[in-house]
Structure 1
Amino acid sequence: MNKADYLRMAFFNIKSNPVRTLLTMLGIIIGTACLIAVYALGRGGEWRIRDELQKFGIQRVWVYSCIDQNDQAPALTMEDASYLEQTLKGVESVQPTAYLQAGLKGVVGNAQVQLRGCTWGIEQEEGFKLLSGRTLSFRDAQEARSVIVLPQAVARQLFGEQQAVGQSVGISGIEFRVIGVLQDDSALGSGSTARCMIPLTTMQRYLGRTTIDEIALTLDSGDAVEPVAQVAQQLLDQRYQGQGYFRTVTLSKETQLASNIVLVFLLIIASVAALSLLVGGIGVMNIMLVTVRERRQEIGVRKALGATRRQILAQFLLESVLIALGGGLGGMLLGTGLTLIAASAIGLPVMLDGTVYLAAAGFSAIVGVFFGTYPARQAARLEPIAALRQG
């Protein structure tokens, strides 16, 4: 017999009992489907978490000055920001920021907000969504222009349904021209906690702020976040000869925590999938043992005609592997469908690739070989006369 004959006989024997074959495959189908869905949804969930953290700055380090109880510790200055920018390696940009509580007067109403004095280009780092107008420019900062960018809710509170861009708001007796409006789901927030952006140079020139509250460092790589944070703190400690108290904040711990949560989720569901595969493999072994018992006469005839133990072993092992691979293929189709449905329902991206399908096929084949070996060996060990007599 050649390989084609083995395949024809295996397919014939599998198709002769379709219901039993399908029930045998069921455990492998469920296990494989779980593996496919868990892999895809786990990767999609991890991507979504990282994407959300990226909006807040997964590759950023924030530096703060902690004022002591006697207000003796020095605050951060623009010179500190320039010093860190010139000294630190791997820093893509530096954004010093100052905050100031203020009341805004508009055409329709007033609003209590937090002014955020910042440098131009900050929207590229923090992913603000512009609704209308524009954000702060280099010329705004260079010339200390009296311009402001409002969150949508604040613009509505100050101007009602009127177009806010181009109008003016009063801050401490100074008129600021509205140049842009941001969506409320941006990082600036909304309502009483809303932050309105103005140039830092304008805040320093017209509103009396000489110091800054934080320095945000954007790095070339997220892998260097913690080392850069430590070096930045050491540099400032040296700069102030230990008289200042500075701290740095990163999202490394939050990112690691999110990854750990996803990993635990994957391990739990993968354990369920592995258990399903184990149950499916045991089902394959049981059915193959029944098949061997039912086909003893066939085995006796083939051995009497000259079939070797190796040929009988290969025949039954091939049937076991084909059943397992069939269950794996069904699981791939079911898992893909479940992934598409679940991803669409919860708003996750579909993260499927060829690797997971190759792994699923490999696992299925391994299950077929592992659980099919014992029944195949039982068939191969039958003596021709005893098999014919028992058959």
Structure 2
Amino acid sequence: MILHELISFDSLRLIWWLLLGTLLIAFALTDGFDLGTGTLLPFVARNDVERRVVINTVGPVWEGNQVWFILGGGAIFAAFPPLYAVSFSGFYLAMFAILAALIVRPVAFKFRSKREDATWRARWDWALFFGGAVPAALFGVAVGNVLLGVPFHLTPDLHSIYDGGPFGKFFGLLRPFALLCGAVSLAMLIVHGAGWIVLKTEGAIADRARRYGSVAAMLVLAGYALAGLWLAFGIEGYALAQAPLRDAPSNPLASTVIHGGSWLSAYADRPWIAIAPVMGFVGTAMAWRALRSGGELSPLGWSKMAVFGMISSVGLTIYPFLLPSTTDPHSSLTIWDASSSHQTLFVMLMATVIFLPMILAYTAWVYRVLWGKVTEDDVSDPDSHSY
């Protein structure tokens, strides 16, 4: 037996769908509170020392957290190449805006304290706000467009053509439902950032984070509920007209896709997936309660549950679709027809089994070493090497 045949092709496709979701959720759980903290920076900190305290809560960890974003993009490229080709082409300008914001963020970390000038530092503080808020919102806009479907089609030789036009690659993504998803994503990560600030700071900074986080949590609950109702009654879903060829070579054009009905019919077919949106609602509500009641660790813990549930609910709702097409439903990408080869998925899985536990162990060690609150005395110490 050939080594890669130890695990069936359909099992590997499902495993990599789960791993891709895991990597994206890990990015949201870790770098998500960095983005939320940056978004809250101008509002929870009122003077230079307080802003330095907030910045230094994420200063030692943001680079490591961002690795999950790289891993997620790499997993899409290697495990589902058609998804990478279509999404990075159709979302090109949005991706550029996200990357520009993520590039500005480390520059702001490094240069903010190079000069004592208040105007200089204020500009970099708003750069950190930009570097947090823009990706947080645009990631949600992207998710909203996945649920709506994207205007692309595949030629007979599987060359992907984006039908939205050059300006449609950005402005065409700003549809009302997608903007709502962007607002929910931004508010969700603000709650997450508030939970982190409460855990890592004390006094007035933590109190302000509780207030802003509480408001954001209420917006998340309202926006998530509205998005669910909109998805149920205002947006048509996609479905396979016949059983997928789970073990066949990848060919997105081999599937027959129906556009119509509701995405939420998935909950009738697989009732157990309702646990994901329930986790989203309960986690957000409990994060709001924990922020209001003075909890320190619990707001972050509950917000992690909310983030996990909300992101999972999207993947479970559209399963087995990865990216539906509005202009040619038969070009829609699913996990069964848009993956790499059997051998490629197996080799990648073996590498993941070896290296992912190492990454997790190192990450856990880093957070253990850096455990504790950041105080004004810490950032005022000239020997602390703080930002």
Q: The TM-score by the shorter chain falls in which range?
A: under 0.3
Higher Cα radius of gyration: 1
Higher relative contact order (CA 8 A, sep 6+): 1
- Structure with the bigger percentage of strand: 1
TM-score for both structures, normalised by structure 1: 0.23
- Structure with the bigger percentage of helix: 2
TM-score for both structures, normalised by structure 2: 0.23
